[in-house]
């Protein structure tokens, strides 16, 4: 039991050191509430305020008062949290190296039984059979995957609703958040985007703000090939498979986006279309990736690396699975949309701490993983950080009386 207690104390101290530059060691006010909620996500695997408060409350009266205080600070309209949120994003982005991968993908926060949540709108719940339409929120997500350390963490989780004030369009929000991500990372990392990013507005933003990216495009996306003619991406893919020599089970062809389709004030940018030589089955039909990329081919990567990088876009799905299955993000009970925004920044901060722990304290992470006594049914295919997060939960459950007061009395 002693080494378990020591691990929990070390975790609490490391967390305080990690959030100290953000001003979250405050003994009162909203930043204290953000610290307690971040600790609640890490140590209880829950975003619910009651579970976070149980870390440092021992009586029902204390628990009731703590939940009211956390709720009040989370939804406080007089606290401008933008400076704190920008500092959280910058701290997370500082860990992004030049060749790290940043999958960008949207998701949904389904609340099918909610009735009084602010600005809730109609979304399509992809986690239920038939993808039914339910109440909830949409969410823009950017995730940081570092292959050499096998660390996965959310960089940004931005909820949005068609009913929120000053809403113009999804493209407007995406443009704003892509520029925010670019500013925080200073252009480091390779962005990976699925077919949802194959929109003229998104492609125009990518051409202006990021040097290296890969987007899977639709087959009917118009492209200008090396001979100056315009054809669809599917036609250029077929031409490349018939005329270009494969390199690493993929072929490539230089292309440009038509100026009348995608705004390009600086002129058409040189791009490449990368097409794997193989197909995969989807809904009983063969499909083939059509990957539009910039800043990789003939600079420091070839078709094989581009194909491999995009295959790792699935880590974004792993991150969403982690947030849903380990930290149960969809089980939030806050009514205020402002509280939801702040809660998700706490989730990002907790994810960054978990990644830092696996990256800089591998021995401690390994000790925590030994706290998980069950065997993973998935075998070698495992969500990065899954066992580490479970180990933190186990250590906190066994040693709450030693470690948690350190966080509460920062």
pTM: 0.91
- Both tokens assigned to 166: 């000053």
User: Hey, which residues does 136 pair with through a beta bridge?
Assistant: 110, 121
d(CA 409, CA 25): 9
For the segment 150-208, what is each residue's pLDDT rounded down to a tens digit? Answer: 899 999 999 999 999 999 999 999 999 999 999 999 999 999 999 999 999 999 999 99
pLDDT at 266 over 80: yes
Query: What is the model's pLDDT at position 190?
Result: 96
Separation between Cα atoms, residue 99 and residue 181, nearest integer Å: 16
Mean pLDDT value of segment 222-235: 95
Check: CB of residue 256 under 8 Å from CB of residue 268.
yes
As to burial, measured by CB atoms within 10 angstroms (0-12 exposed, 13-18 middle, 19+ buried), residue 380 is: exposed
User: 344 near 158, Cβ under 8 Å?
Assistant: yes
| Averaged confidence pLDDT in the chain | 89
Dihedral over alpha carbons 109, 115, 116, 121 (to 10 degrees):
50
Q: Where does the pLDDT of residue 333 fall: very low under 50, low under 70, confident under 90, or very high at 90 and above?
A: confident
Residue recorded with tokens 């075998």: 379
Q: What angle do CA 186, 146, 246 make, to 5 degrees?
A: 95
For the segment 91-139, what is each residue's pLDDT rounded down to a tens digit? 999 999 999 999 999 999 988 877 788 999 998 887 778 888 889 999 9
What is the β-pairing status of strands 190-193 and 213-216? parallel
Q: Check pLDDT > 50 for residue 2.
A: no
- By three-state DSSP, how is residue 14 classified? helix
Taking phi first (over 0 means left), then psi (-120 to 50 degrees means alpha), and beta for anything else, what does residue 221 get? beta
Q: Any residues with CB less than 8 A from the CB of 123 and at least 6 apart, and which?
A: 108, 109, 110, 133, 134, 135, 136, 137, 138
Bigger pLDDT: 7 or 257? Answer: 257
CA dist list (Å): 395 to 70, 346, 400: 24, 21, 8
Structure tokens at 68: 């009211």
Q: How far is CA 121 from the centre of its chain?
A: 22
Sign of the Cα pseudo-torsion (158, 162, 168, 171, in order): positive
**pLDDT for 111:** 86
Give me 260's structure tokens. 């009348």
- How high is the pLDDT of residue 234? 96
Residue 31 to residue 73: CA distance in whole angstroms: 9
Antiparallel, parallel or unpaired: β 222-224 and 230-232: antiparallel
Closest CA to 348 of 138, 188, 135, 159: 159
pLDDT tens-digit profile of 359-409? 999 998 888 888 776 555 554 446 778 888 888 888 887 765 544 544 555
Map out the domains of the chain as residue ranges. 195-312
Rounded to whole angstroms, how far apart are CA atoms 351 and 315? Answer: 14
- Cα of first residue to Cα of last residue in the chain, in angstroms, is 25
């Amino acid at each position: 039991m002693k080494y378990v207690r020591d691990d929990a104390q070390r975790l609490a101290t490391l967390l305080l050191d990690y959030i100290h530059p953000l001003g979250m060691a405050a003994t009162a006010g909203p930043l204290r509430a953000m610290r307690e909620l971040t600790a609640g996500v890490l140590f209880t695997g829950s975003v619910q305020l009651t579970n976070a408060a149980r870390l440092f409350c021992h009586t029902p009266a204390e628990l009731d008062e703590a939940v009211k205080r956390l709720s009040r600070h989370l939804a406080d309209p007089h606290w401008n949290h933008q400076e704190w949120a920008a500092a959280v994003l910058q701290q997370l982005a500082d860990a992004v190296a030049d060749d790290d991968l940043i999958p960008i993908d949207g998701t949904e926060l389904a609340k099918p039984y909610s009735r009084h949540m602010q600005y809730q709108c109609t979304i399509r719940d992809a986690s239920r059979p038939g993808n039914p339409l339910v109440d909830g929120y949409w969410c823009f997500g950017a995730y940081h995957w570092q292959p050499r350390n096998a660390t996965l963490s959310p960089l940004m989780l931005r909820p949005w609703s068609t009913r929120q004030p000053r809403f113009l369009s999804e493209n407007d929000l995406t443009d704003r958040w892509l520029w925010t991500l670019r500013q925080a990372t200073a252009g480091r990392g390779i962005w990976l985007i699925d077919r949802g990013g194959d929109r003229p507005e998104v492609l125009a933003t990518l051409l202006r703000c990021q040097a290296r990216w890969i987007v899977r495009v639709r087959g009917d996306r118009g492209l200008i090939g090396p001979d100056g003619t315009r054809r669809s991406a599917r036609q250029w893919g077929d031409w490349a498979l018939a005329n270009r020599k494969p390199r690493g089970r993929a072929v490539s062809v230089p292309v440009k986006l038509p100026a009348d389709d995608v705004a390009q004030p600086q002129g058409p940018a040189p791009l490449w279309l990368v097409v794997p030589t193989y197909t995969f089955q989807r809904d009983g039909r063969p499909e083939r990736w059509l990957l539009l990329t910039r800043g990789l081919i003939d600079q420091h990567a070839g078709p094989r690396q581009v194909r491999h990088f995009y295959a790792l876009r699935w880590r974004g799905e792993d991150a969403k699975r982690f947030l849903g299955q380990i930290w149960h993000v969809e089980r939030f009970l806050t009514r205020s949309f402002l509280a939801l925004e702040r809660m998700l920044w706490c989730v990002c901060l907790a994810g960054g701490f978990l990644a830092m722990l696996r990256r800089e304290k591998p021995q401690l992470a390994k000790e925590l993983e030994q706290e998980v006594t069950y065997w993973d049914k998935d075998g070698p295919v495992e969500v990065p950080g899954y066992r580490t997060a479970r180990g933190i939960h186990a250590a906190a459950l066994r040693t709450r009386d030693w470690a948690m007061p350190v966080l509460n009395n920062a």
